[in-house]
Structure 1
Amino acid sequence: MADSAPLIDNPEIITMLKAVANGQRYTIIKELIKGEKNVGELESYSTLSQSALSQHLARLRRDKIVETRRQAQLIYYYLSNQNVISLVKYLDQMATEGDRQD
């Protein structure tokens, strides 16, 4: 009988993988690697509506991947999880190396 234990039992790893598995959130994370941005700035890099973008940002915030700071009436988002930054950079490196091998 097969063992039903999960292959990955670390909740932080599972959360990070779920975050970067979504293409829209992956794009948001990649933009935030470049530096903090407000919703309007992120919207200019995305095809998402402001509402959908805000939902993705709320998910990333809930998962403790991004944090916010307020400046006047603007809320700026920045990456707060160094492991996610490392993961995205590693995935980009793998994709680049894979392109060269093709």
Structure 2
Amino acid sequence: MEAQVVSWDSAGADRAVAVLKAVADPTRYRLLWALGQREHSVGQLAELVGAHVAAVSQHLSRLRSAGLVASRREGTRIYYQAAGPHVRGLLEEASLVASGPVDGADSGEGGAPGAAAVQERGTAASPARSPRPRPLAIGR
């Protein structure tokens, strides 16, 4: 039986990289986490992340251009929210990947750290990763 070859989607890869670059900043990650919970104004977000409103506006602009946040105007205020449930999924997947093995040790199949690596860190290996990552702290 022949294996099916998937063609490379250069434009799709470029869009995916743009999304990953937009999230690849601790402040933007924290902003997205907060916006995945509920909608916030720029001032509220600035307070949550401990940054100036102007800096938060710049971050939101980058996230908006990557298609990760949506906004609505109410009078003179603009409120932001995650562009959809896929944004929360992206953050949760990133947390799961980040909670995986950090060293290059391999115990064979599955990519779990070897016993020596676990013993070196002084922790017990968990049988499986949690399906729901813990939320990161939003405030400083």
Flag the 1:21–1:71 CA change in 2: closer, same or farther, 3 A. same
Report the 3-state secondary structure (helix = DSSP H, G, I; strand = E; otherwise coil) of the residue aligned with 2:81: strand
The residue aligned with 1:67 is: 70
Per the TM alignment, residue 20 of structure 1 is displaced from its structure 2 partner at its CA by 1.6
* Contact 1:16 1:84 survives alignment (8 Å): no
For 1:17 and 1:84, locate their aligned partners in 2 and report how far apart those are by CA, in whole Å. Answer: 11
Structure 2 residues without counterparts, runs of 5 or longer? 1-7, 102-122, 127-140
Which residue of 1 is the match for residue 28 of structure 2? 25
* Aligned AA (2:57): S
Question: Residue in 1 aligned with 2:49?
Answer: 46
Rg larger in 1 or in 2? Answer: 2
Unaligned stretches of 5+ residues in structure 1: 1-6
TM-score, reference length from structure 2: 0.58
For the 8 Å contact 2:36–2:87, the answer to whether it is kept is no
- Equivalent AA in structure 2 for residue 57 of structure 1: L
1:89 maps to a residue whose letter is: E
The C-alpha deviation readout for 1:30-68, integer Å capped at 9, x for no partner, is 110101110111011112211111100111112221111
Q: How large is the Cα RMSD of the aligned pairs? A: 2.6
Pair 100,72 (structure 1): closer, same or farther in 2 beyond 3 Å: farther
Deviation at 1:95, TM superposition (A): 3.9
1:75-94 aligned within 5 A: 75-94=78-97
Provide closer, same or farther for how the CA distance between residues 18 and 88 of structure 1 changes in structure 2, counting only shifts above 3 A: same
TM-score, scaled to structure 1: 0.77
- Identity of counterpart residues, as a percentage? 30
Residue 93 of structure 1 and its aligned partner are, at CA, apart by: 3.3
Aligned partner of 2:16 in structure 1 is 13
- 2:61 aligned with 1:58: yes
Task: Give me the whole-angstrom Cα distance separating, in 2, the residues matched to 1:22 and 1:85.
Answer: 16
